[in-house]
Amino acid sequence: MNATPLAIPDVLLLQSRLWEDDRGFFFESFNQRELKELVGREVTFVQDNHSRSSKDVLRGLHYQVTRPQGKLVRVVAGEVLDVVVDLRKSSPTFGHWIGQVLSAENKKQLWIPEGFAHGFLVLSDTADFLYKTTDYWAPDCERCIAWNDPELAIDWPISSGPIVSAKDAQGVPFHLAETF
């Protein structure tokens, strides 16, 4: 597995070695020993999630307080723009965001450490999004920052309003977000 540090260096873009033959392909989508090497510490996942969304659906920007989740995210059908926002107050990149296209085609994964808000916009007709988390879902700890917060100014590739959940439509401005 190759790791490319991004503009927020603790976020890693991961690409596994792909084996292709007459039957199709094979790759290791998760290898605990390799991830430990790349991240520089043991990472233990406790939950796997799978969501399916239609084109123009935007989920986010989500995070949990008290029980923050590190996430290993990927797409197995379709294409999304995946976005993370650094919520770590002591970080030189606090308040910065980065976006990466993840798709079934490019097979890229993102390692998103604890302390980030996360969201994605579906670019294809439909997208199946898979992710592992380092802590359990804790509804009382869930927080949402508005996807269109003007201070964050995330450059979502969309001309009209995306499809968001009622919960996400109530996302708070970045300046009111609880940080780490």
Ligand X SMILES: Cc1cn([C@H]2C[C@H](O)[C@@H](COP(=O)(O)OP(=O)(O)O[C@H]3O[C@@H](C)C(=O)[C@@H](O)[C@H]3O)O2)c(=O)[nH]c1=O
* β-sheet bridge partners, residue 77: 128
Using an 8 Å Cβ cutoff, are 38 and 49 in contact? no
Phi, psi of 173 (to 5 degrees): -65, 155
Using an 8 Å Cβ cutoff, are 136 and 65 in contact? no
C-alpha to C-alpha distance for 65 and 156, rounded to whole angstroms: 25
Query: Residue from 16, 43, 57, 60 that binds ligand X (CB under 6 A)?
Result: 60
Query: Residue from 88, 108, 118, 132 that binds ligand X (CB under 6 A)?
Result: 118
C-alpha to C-alpha distance for 14 and 164, rounded to whole angstroms: 28
Task: Report, in Å, the least distance between residue 144 CB and ligand X.
Answer: 8
Task: Report, in Å, the least distance between residue 33 CB and ligand X.
Answer: 25
**54 contacts ligand X (rule: CB under 6 A):** no
Catalytic residue among 50, 63, 118, 131, which? 131
Q: Is 131 a catalytic residue?
A: yes
Query: Residue from 35, 59, 103, 171 that binds ligand X (CB under 6 A)?
Result: 59
Catalytic residue among 62, 63, 96, 175, which? 62
- DSSP helix/strand/coil, 36: helix
Query: Residue from 43, 62, 109, 116 that binds ligand X (CB under 6 A)?
Result: 62
Using an 8 Å Cβ cutoff, are 119 and 61 in contact? yes
Q: Is 62 a catalytic residue?
A: yes
Query: Residue from 165, 169, 175, 178 that binds ligand X (CB under 6 A)?
Result: 165
Phi-psi category of 39—alpha, beta or left, where left has phi over 0 and alpha has psi -120 to 50? alpha
**And the tokens for 141?**
């700890």
- Binding span for ligand X by CB under 6 A among 2-10, 57-65, 101-109, 153-161: 57-65
| Interface residue list for ligand X (CB under 6 A) | 49, 51, 59-60, 62, 118-120, 137, 165, 167
Question: Among all residues, which ones are annotated catalytic?
Answer: 62, 131
